[in-house]
Amino acid sequence: MKVKHSKFMALLVITLLITVMLTGCGPKTGQTAAGDNTSGDAASAPQKQDLVYPISAEIPSLDPQLANAIPSFNIGKHVFEGLIRVHNGKIQPGMAESWDISPDGITYTFHLRDAQWSDGSKVTAKDFEFGLLRLLDPNTAASYAFAGLNIKNGGKFNSGEITDPSQVGIKALDEKTLEIKLEYPTKYFLSYLDLMCFYPTQKAAFDKYGTTFATEADKMLYNGPFILKEWKHEQEMVLEKNPNYWDKDSIKLNSIKAIQVNDINTAISMYENGELDFCDIPMPLVEQYKKEDKALVYMSGADDWMQINLNAKGKPWLANKNFRQALSFAIDREDYVLTTTKGLYKPATRLVLTIVSGSSGYYCDEHPLSPYTTKADPAKAKELLQAAMKELNITDPAKISVTFLTQDEETSKLMAESLQDQITKNLGITFDIQVVPYKQKIERMNKSDYEMLYAGWGPDYDDPMTYMELWETKNSQNTGKYSNPKYDRLIEGARVETDAKKRCEMFYEAEKILLDDAPLVPLQYRQRAWTCNPALKGVVRHFIGADTDMVYAYFEGAK
C-alpha cells in the first residue's frame, strides 16, 4: 500500500523561532531565527511591501544545476521552486501538490499542480526530468552531481558507465506525473528536493539561450514566488512578485532588492540610515547590539576549515599526512575565534556540526571526538613537522611554502591573517595569502586550482551524511582530491544501513579516519548575528540549505 502525502510534512528536525543566543546542544531543535523581533528603535511605518537587504559578493551562478554556493541558493529559493518547498523547517508542497512513496521507500511518484513559468508556459514533469538528468550528465560537470547519486543508476550515468539516460530512475510518466526511483531508501530524500540542483529547467529555454542561459535576468524562466527583474552584476539584483506563481496570494512582498555591499561596516551604516531592512552585524558591534536588544543570533549551520589540495603541483608537503596534522596543532582555535569574531563563532576540532541529528539525539553527543586541541600545541606541531621534513628530505622549514586562497571580505581577510600569524610563528614555514573575489574563489575551488583555501559547508539536510559524503573519492565537491578506500567503504555502507545506531557508528569510524588523514584543518562553527527592521516579519534564517528565506516575509502596517 502506498503512503499518500498531500499536506505539510515535518522535516527531520523541529524548528523554533529564536531571538536569543544559541550555543552548544540544547533541546532537539532546528536553529532558526526570524525577523519578528519587537525590540530596538521603532522604524517608521513602511508605505510599500518592498524589502532591501545586502549581499556581500556577486552571485556566482543562478543556473539551477550549476549553482553551488549559499548566496546563489538564497536567490534561487525565491525565483524558482522545486517539487517541494522547505519553509521554517517544514516540508510543504511546491510544484508537486501531492506525492506517493512505495512501501519499500524506493519509488517516489510526484503529482504536479497546474503551474506556469514566468512566460506563461506550463511547468511539466519533463522540465524536472530534463533538469535532473542534466545535473547527472557528466558533460554538465555539475559540482552538486553527488546529490543525485542515490537515484537509480545516477552514479553510473554520472561516471559514464552507462550513457543511456532512460536507464536512470527519473521518468516523466506524463505531463503532470514524475517518477523517481532510488538505489536505496533515503530518509532525507524529500527534504533533499529543495536543493537548487533539483529545481526544474525548461529545455526550450535552455536551448534558446545556449551558453548565455542563466547569465542575465532575461536569459532564464522563473517558476517561483518572484522573478528576477534586474541583474546589474557587481551592483544589485531586483526581484519582483511573480504574477504567474500558483500561490501568489500568500506572497506579501512586492519586491526584494539585493544590493551588493562588500564591506559589512558599510552595510550596518546603511541599515542604521534606513537604507536596508536587515543585515549582519560586524563582529566588533555584536555585544553593543545585544545590549541594545537589537541582535538576533543563530547557528547558521556552516563549518569552516582550511582545505588542502593533496595534488598541488610543486608542493609535496601537502600530500604528507604529518605536515597536514602539524597545521592543525599549530592553530589556537580559541584565540582565532576571539580575534576574528569576538567569540561569536565557536572552535571546531572535528567535521560534523554539533547540532546535526544522530540515531536518537545529537550525533556529536553520541560520538564524542576531539582529535585536535582547541588551544595550540606548538611542541606537537613541531614534532609532526620534523617528521614530515625527514620524510621529504627537507632540512629547513623556511623552504616550505603554502599559498592560502580566500575571498575579498574583511572578515575572511582577518581570518587568513590570524592563521598566517599562528602558523608562521609555530611552524616557521612561509604562509602566503591570496585574496580574490568570492566568485573567482569558487571557480578556482571547482577546478582544484589552489594549494590551500578557506572553505566550509552548510548542511543540505539534517544528517551526518551531508558532511561525510563530501570527502568520498568520487564526490564532485572533493576538490582537494582526498581518497581513502576504507573511508569510502564506510560511507557507502552507511548509505544502505537501515539500523540508525549502526549507521552513526559507521560515520564515527569514517570521521576518525578522515581527521587522522587530515585533508582539512577544522577551524570553527559559525554563528550569525544580524539585526532587523522591527516592522519586518517572517524573515527566516535557518541552518539547513539556503540560510535566508524571505518568501513569506511582510512589513507590518504597510499599505
Neighbouring residues of 489: CB distance < 8 A, sequence distance ≥ 6: none
Contact 237, 227 (CB under 8 A): no
First to last CA, the chain: 50
- The overall average pLDDT reported for the chain is 90
Determine the 3-state secondary structure of 10 from DSSP: strand
Alpha carbon distance 534, 271 (integer Å): 12
Contact 21, 297 (CB under 8 A): yes
Provide the pLDDT confidence category of residue 63 given band limits of 50, 70 and 90: very high
pLDDT tens per residue across span 457-490: 988 888 999 999 999 999 989 999 999 999 999 9
Contact 283, 413 (CB under 8 A): no
Domains 3-273+533-555 and 301-527 share a fold: no
Contact 344, 290 (CB under 8 A): no
CA-closest candidate to residue 406, choices 430, 432, 435, 431: 435
List the grid coordinates of 377. Answer: 600545541
User: Which burial class, exposed, middle or buried, applies to 273 when counting CB atoms under 10 A from its CB (0-12, 13-18, 19+)?
Assistant: exposed
More confident residue, 280 or 38: 280
> Which helix (H) or strand (E) covers residue 513, if one does?
helix 500-517
| Domains in the chain: boundaries | 3-273+533-555, 301-527
Assess whether pLDDT exceeds 90 at residue 327. yes
Assess whether pLDDT exceeds 90 at residue 46. no
CATH code assigned to 3-273+533-555: 3.40.190.10
Classify each residue of 336-375 as buried b or exposed e, where b means 16 or more C-beta atoms within 10 Å of its C-beta. Answer: bbebbbeebbbbbbbbbbbbbbbeeebbbebbeeeebbbe
Query: In this predicted structure, what is the pLDDT of residue 559?
Result: 62
Query: In this predicted structure, what is the pLDDT of residue 181?
Result: 98
Alpha carbon distance 303, 537 (integer Å): 28
Q: Give the 3-state secondary structure percentages of the chain, helix then strand then coil, rounded to 5.
A: 30, 25, 45
pLDDT tens per residue across span 204-240: 999 999 999 999 999 999 999 999 999 999 999 999 9
Contact 197, 77 (CB under 8 A): no
Q: How many other C-beta atoms are found inside a 10 Å radius of the C-beta of residue 238?
A: 19
Instruction: Please report how the helices 410-427 and 378-392 are oriented relative to each other, as an axis angle in degrees rounded to 10.
Output: 70
Assess whether pLDDT exceeds 90 at residue 336. yes
Where is average pLDDT lowest: 75-79, 374-378, 435-439? 435-439
Contact 224, 80 (CB under 8 A): yes
* Domain 301-527, CATH homologous superfamily name and number: Dipeptide-binding Protein; Domain 3 (3.10.105.10)
